[in-house]
Amino acid sequence: MKQPCALHPHPHSHAHRLIQPPLNELTEQLRRRDRKITAPRQAILEVLRRHQHPLTNREIHAALGESECDLATVYRNLNTLEQMGMVRRFDFGDGTARFELLAEGDDGHHHHLVCTRCSTVVEVDGCFSTEVEARLARTHGFTQITHRLEFFGLCPKCAAGA
């Protein structure tokens, strides 16, 4: 059930889609899988909903403010939220995982363009998935093929101010 995406077609891409799944729906999700709706959990989802960037565990923890909870708890929750498919994990290769809230039904398949200097992140929508993956499956006999793709570069601001 991949998106009908294709990296080539659209010569444009918006920076961010709307991510606004009411907290209710989110807690709804939790309830469904007999997970408990705890304060840290809600606070974390709240933070993710506010920031539409991929955030690190540390950043999320820092953004909790009032509803502070242990950093380990943040780690644990992001792992379970990922398993539940409510959050997507990204790896920009700097040794720290980042997470983004997923809208329901969204498999979160998109990629990023990351500034190598300031870490600004731009969402890149569209991807060449299925076609190539199918070819790889045929050629090498692999199944359940997925991929990880991120772009890196120097953003306009950084290119200018240096």
Partner DNA sequence: CGCCTTGTTGCAAATGAATTGCAAACTGTG
Partner DNA sequence: CACAGTTTGCAATTCATTTGCAACAAGGCG
Residues near DNA (CB under 7 A) = 31, 34-41, 56-58, 68-73, 75-77, 79-80, 95-97
Q: How many CB atoms lie within 10 A of CB 100?
A: 21
Among 10-18, 36-44, 66-74, 80-88, the segment contacting a copy of itself (CB under 8 A):
10-18
Q: How many CB atoms lie within 10 A of CB 103?
A: 14
Of DNA, a copy of itself, none, which one does residue 56 interact with (CB within 5 to 8 Å by kind)?
DNA
Q: Which of 7, 37, 63, 69 binds a copy of itself (CB under 8 A)?
A: 7
Encoded amino acid at 37, one letter: I
48: tokens are: 């993710």
**Of 39 and 153, which CB lies nearer to a copy of itself in the complex structure?**
153
Q: Which residues contact 70 (CB under 8 A, 6 or more apart)?
A: none
Check if the beta carbon of residue 12 is closer than 8 Å to that of residue 125.
no
Q: Which residues contact 50 (CB under 8 A, 6 or more apart)?
A: 63
25: tokens are: 């729906």
Q: Which of 1, 12, 32, 65 binds a copy of itself (CB under 8 A)?
A: 12
**Of 46 and 125, which CB lies nearer to a copy of itself in the complex structure?**
125
Residues at the interface with a copy of itself (CB under 8 A): 7-8, 11-13, 91, 93, 95, 113, 115-116, 122, 124, 128, 131-133, 135-156, 159
